[in-house]
Structure 1
Amino acid sequence: MIKDFVVYVLSDSVGDTAEQVARASAEQYQASNYEIKKYPYVESKLKIDNIMEDLDPKNSIFVYTIVNQEISEYLQAICQEKEIHYIDVMTESLNAFTEFLNEEPTRESGIIRKLDEDYFKRVEAVEFAVKYDDGKDPRGILKADIVLIGVSRSSKTPLSMYLAHKNYKVVNIPLVKGAKVPEQLFEVPRKKIIGLMIDPSDLIEIRRERIRVLGLDNSVDYVSVEKIYEELEYAEKIMRKIGCPVIDMTKKAVEEAANLVIDIINDLN
């Protein structure tokens, strides 16, 4: 029985999966002592050759998650040649999935890590959109990837949230006649700012429905035809001053508008 042994954990990504498998297995043998040597980002045959130097095949075992087939097969061949025990965590699993799905794997390393990073970026973007929604704190303008400006009920908030789920940090700023425009709007690159306009008749209907839902008086300035035209004229004036691209939100679904915003931002950057 081997009393002391070394577990070599290799991966072409960070190696957390292989390490967890190795530890969970090794801990089942209380009569032996072990050491784990972890080697992440093993992406070349030379790195494998360097790891193989000066190790004792008799008290070594390899546990690895390498999705690159050439590198994986190379490591397996060396282990067999040197009579080193090894556990190829990925290959058997990939073979089973390939047979089940009748589809070849991408063999891209670090996919789980990338998915995790993408998830946390999305959560951060959503929290950002909520924090800086509707001009709550204009300081967010300087931190945002995208700044949406427009009059009330021009779909700024739903568009902000949709873009946040695409990992963009979005601030939306209402343009209200008589209210001071945040100075930060003139401090950021105008290529980050998107103006939202909407047909007056559509805006009137949207606002009247909003008033009805809230149970308010339909005669308030919020739904006044004259005031709405003044608001839109004022908003257009600010957008021209900034020099930002403008999207007509009339009859547009949020998804369609979001794609337009992303296209504009990508073209300008």
Structure 2
Amino acid sequence: MNAKQTIHIHLISDATGETIHLLARAALGKFAATKAIEHVWTLVRTMDHLDVIKKEISDHGGVVFYSMSDPDIRAAIEQFCQQQQTPYLSILDPAVRTLSQVLGKTATARVGAQHKMDEAYFNRMEALEFAVHHDDGQAMSSVHNADILLVGVSRSSKTPTSIYLANRGYKVANYPLVPGITPPIELMKNKDVLVVGLINEARRLSQIRRNRLESMNAEENMEYADIRKINDELNQAIKLFKEQGWPIIDVSRKSIEETAAEIINIYTQWIEEKT
């Protein structure tokens, strides 16, 4: 079997394409050192649009992943791929078939149904607004309204993790630990808010901070990236987290998604223990 290092992937969706893109990326992550050239086609709802896509598939080959509610367009995609001998997969079909068997009913063919503006959608929007207003230690007087409070030294992925969690519907605030400034512990002590401490490897933090200073043309503040001072910051942070009994997550070799998943697991267990 000859291993390919580059592959063309055609992602065809009648909605935003977000779901199919995430699933394709997850699958590609299982194949190291493989470069994917993505051809993303969204809001595909006419045969004319599909004709343009067919030419791209014919020119580049590869594999086709699609999510399509319209049975005629779906059939046209499958027929064309069979003619071209191009591998294809309706990426949601396995999950839909399983749910259909368990629920004992067929799926409804509604375009973009997962993006409907329901209560969950508005809860996510509210959570995103909350995360922005409570970023980097802002509005700590109302932190009691949060589900989760992330605490950590500078550049420990607090903000991106907060935004990611907000997109999952969690109200998240974050607070930066700054040398010489005493954190408002009393405001953080709330039985209805889960506080999580984030840490990062000293060497990685030093490099991240150094890159940030250089991008800002602020090399005169290189003390901020001094590894000895960073070690002191981390030691003080860990001491605080342990004193307060807060769970600690090392984000050093984790993606934002992995860190968020770990926080969600901790939060779920914390909620169960409370009830």
TM-score, structure 2 normalization: 0.56
Q: Any gaps of 5 or more consecutive residues in structure 2?
A: 1-68, 75-92, 98-105
SS at match of 2:261: helix
SS at match of 2:118: helix
Runs of 4+ that moved beyond 3 A: 97-103, 111-115, 183-186
Q: From the superposition, tell whether residues 112 and 200 of structure 1 become closer, same or farther in structure 2 (CA, over 3 Å).
A: closer
Query: Is 1:149–1:194's contact at 8 Å kept on the other side of the alignment?
Result: yes
User: 1:159 is matched by which residue type in structure 2?
Assistant: T
Counterpart selection for 1:246 from 240, 245, 248:
248
Residue 33 of structure 1 is matched in structure 2 by: none
Q: From the superposition, tell whether residues 114 and 219 of structure 1 become closer, same or farther in structure 2 (CA, over 3 Å).
A: closer
Residue 193 of structure 1 is matched in structure 2 by: 195
Report whether the alignment pairs 1:223 with 2:221.
no
Counterpart selection for 1:122 from 105, 121, 124:
124
Counterpart selection for 2:153 from 151, 176, 179:
151
- Report the alpha carbon displacement of residue 263 of structure 1 after superposing the two structures with TM: 0.4
User: 1:255 is matched by which residue type in structure 2?
Assistant: E
Residue 261 of structure 1 is matched in structure 2 by: 263
Q: Distance in 2 between matches of 1:237 and 1:154?
A: 16
SS at match of 2:219: coil
Q: From the superposition, tell whether residues 178 and 125 of structure 1 become closer, same or farther in structure 2 (CA, over 3 Å).
A: same
Deviations 1:211-242 (A, max 9, x none): 11111115532111221111111111111121
Deviations 1:148-203 (A, max 9, x none): 00000000000000000000000000111211211344421287011001110010
- Report the alpha carbon displacement of residue 140 of structure 1 after superposing the two structures with TM: 3.0
Q: Distance in 2 between matches of 1:214 and 1:135?
A: 22
User: 2:264 is matched by which residue type in structure 1?
Assistant: I
SS at match of 2:126: helix
Query: Is 2:153–2:237's contact at 8 Å kept on the other side of the alignment?
Result: yes
Q: From the superposition, tell whether residues 260 and 99 of structure 1 become closer, same or farther in structure 2 (CA, over 3 Å).
A: same
Q: From the superposition, tell whether residues 212 and 131 of structure 1 become closer, same or farther in structure 2 (CA, over 3 Å).
A: same
Q: How does 1:140-179 map to 2 (within 5 A)?
A: 140-179=142-181
Residue 205 of structure 1 is matched in structure 2 by: 207
- Report the alpha carbon displacement of residue 117 of structure 1 after superposing the two structures with TM: 0.7
SS at match of 1:220: helix
Which stretch has the larger CA shift, 203-212 or 177-186?
177-186
Query: Is 1:212–1:218's contact at 8 Å kept on the other side of the alignment?
Result: no
Residue 23 of structure 1 is matched in structure 2 by: none
Query: Is 2:200–2:250's contact at 8 Å kept on the other side of the alignment?
Result: yes
User: 2:129 is matched by which residue type in structure 1?
Assistant: E
Q: Any gaps of 5 or more consecutive residues in structure 1?
A: 1-96
Query: Is 2:141–2:187's contact at 8 Å kept on the other side of the alignment?
Result: no
Larger radius of gyration: 1
Query: Is 1:129–1:160's contact at 8 Å kept on the other side of the alignment?
Result: yes
Query: Is 2:143–2:188's contact at 8 Å kept on the other side of the alignment?
Result: no
Query: Is 1:190–1:244's contact at 8 Å kept on the other side of the alignment?
Result: no
Residue 34 of structure 2 is matched in structure 1 by: none
User: 1:147 is matched by which residue type in structure 2?
Assistant: L
Q: From the superposition, tell whether residues 112 and 223 of structure 1 become closer, same or farther in structure 2 (CA, over 3 Å).
A: closer
Q: From the superposition, tell whether residues 190 and 177 of structure 1 become closer, same or farther in structure 2 (CA, over 3 Å).
A: farther
User: 2:154 is matched by which residue type in structure 1?
Assistant: S
User: 1:194 is matched by which residue type in structure 2?
Assistant: V
Q: Distance in 1 between matches of 2:135 and 2:115?
A: 30
Q: Distance in 1 between matches of 2:179 and 2:250?
A: 20
Query: Is 1:98–1:105's contact at 8 Å kept on the other side of the alignment?
Result: no
Q: Distance in 1 between matches of 2:262 and 2:71?
A: 41
Q: Distance in 2 between matches of 1:112 and 1:223?
A: 44
Query: Is 1:191–1:265's contact at 8 Å kept on the other side of the alignment?
Result: no
